[in-house]
A = this chain, B = another copy of it.
Amino acid sequence: MLEETEQLIDSELTIIEEGDVATPKGFVAGGTHVGLRREKKDFGWLFSSVPANCAAVYTQNAFKAAPLQVTEESISVNNKLSAVIINSAIANACTGKRGVEDAKQTQKWAASKLQIPEHEIAVASTGLIGEFLPMQKIKYGVNNIDIQNDFNSENFNESILTTDKETKHIAVQVTIDNEVITIGGTCKGSGMIHPNMATMLGFMTTDANVEVEDLNSLLKESVDETFNMITVDGDTSTNDMVILLANGESNNQPLCKQHPEWNKFAKAVQHVSRYLAQSIARDGEGATKLIKVKVTGAETKEQNNIIAKTIVGSSLVKTAIHGADPNFGRIISAIGYADITINPTDIDVWLCDHLLVSKGMNVSFDELDLKAKMEQDTIEINAKIGDSSFTSTAFGCDLSYDYVKINALYRT
């Protein structure tokens, strides 16, 4: 499916690299500094001029943070959202009833300021777990939202970051019903990143008119193929959420699975989702390289997923790639402990297009050439597990000194 998306880029998809959540018609976004962090922007907002159909997926962590609980309840009212309010620096997780009240209070202030119902407002937080939000600063942020004049969405893209080094955003356009449809997205990483969501906030928007049920299933499928296939450090956060808003400001016929151009739309959403997920992996804490692991041939797609994620999550594989060391034994070992029944003598492994293991046995390879390739900033690992046609791709990053540095000193 991802491979198909790649082909689509050349033909039907127009990429807007500087695009983001505010590129589709009817969306505006902004961000500012309200004092949760020392200097960096820490408060952001996204607004749709009309209520948008909404789909969302949430962390699987049992300690689901207060803003997620409140957002999930709000979206369940009628699957419509008009605004999202986000803060970085403090996660509002592990904060009990007071955390929930704080998230609701944020909704109330925003409803009053934006003149929309409370349940049309999602709230999201990312940052330190176990601290209460300083509500006066949040209130200041809400009261200064200016949807009429503040059209600098790059401020939004910056405001949601934590240890990310770069903003992460894209937009794509595709023609449906002879209308140009835009899909935009902005997200943040970059620690506590692991399959089944992460310290990851993803916001995707489109001006397409999309039926809410199929919007939901499309988001779930896209997230499973992309955001849920990345790992930075194996830790799954309490605050992850990906939201997809469709406000229908374009004049297309309502999109649903029966629509003849549904697949074109779906692939465009997947492209945005994949681009954002890869950006998170590439900008993982301390990362110097993106690792792409493609696994084929297991008995089920899910088995491929598990093996791909096990390889890309192995600390030993990650450090070997950091050191540009073709230590394929660690790849083999990771395949072996992925807890999937395999036949060792069926396994082939390639690293940067060099065949290293054939039928479970080491083969000779050009080590100098391979080491040179391993200095590049994207490293591809391929593993063939069996003969099925299933394929999965997982994304991750190398494990560096800087990961330790960032995380040994994050809080203090």
Contact = CB atoms under 8 A, between A and B. Distances in A.
Contacts of A403: 315, 319, 404
Contact of A410 (B194, B325, B399, B412): B325
Interface residue range, chain A:
35 or more
Interface string A56-99: 00001111100000000000000000000000000101111000
Nearest to A358: B96
Contacts of A129: 327-330, 332-333
A78 B326 CA distance: 41
A404 B399 contact: yes
A336 interface: yes
Contacts of A406: 319
Interface string A400-412: 1101111111111
B337 A410 contact: no
Nearest to A356: B130
Given A96-B360, A344-B63, A399-B404, A325 B236 contact: no
A407 B236 CA distance: 24
A381 to B, nearest CB: 15
B360 A63 contact: yes
A242 interface: no
Nearest to A345: B96
Which of A128, A313, A325 is the most central at the interface, judged by chain B CB atoms within 10 Å of its CB? A325
A117 B132 CA distance: 70
A94 B319 contact: no
A62 B335 contact: yes
B238 A192 contact: no
A235 interface: yes
Interface in A98-138: 128-131
B60 A337 contact: yes
A298 interface: no
Q: How many copies does the complex hold?
A: 2
A327 B238 CA distance: 14
Say what secondary structure dominates the interface of chain A.
Answer: loop
B322 A404 contact: yes
Contacts of A9: none
Contacts of A35: none
A412 B325 contact: yes
B410 A94 contact: no
A361 interface: yes
A291 interface: no
A308 interface: no
B329 A128 contact: yes
Contact of A63 (B130, B192, B335, B408): B335
Given A323-B412, A362-B131, A238 B96 contact: no
Given A129-B332, A319-B403, A322-B404, A337 B94 contact: no
B333 A235 contact: yes
A334 interface: yes
A337 B325 CA distance: 32
Nearest to A323: B408
Given A130-B328, A362-B130, A401-B405, A62 B336 contact: yes
A276 interface: no
Contacts of A400: 404
Given A60-B337, A335-B62, A94 B357 contact: yes
B407 A315 contact: yes
Given A94-B362, A316-B407, 7 more contacts: A62-B336, A63-B335, A95-B361, A96-B345, A191-B316, A196-B337, A327-B410
7 contacts: A62-B340, A63-B333, A95-B362, A129-B332, A130-B329, A234-B234, A319-B407
A-B CB proximity, top 6 nearest: A129-B329, A323-B408, A319-B407, A63-B336, A236-B337, A130-B362
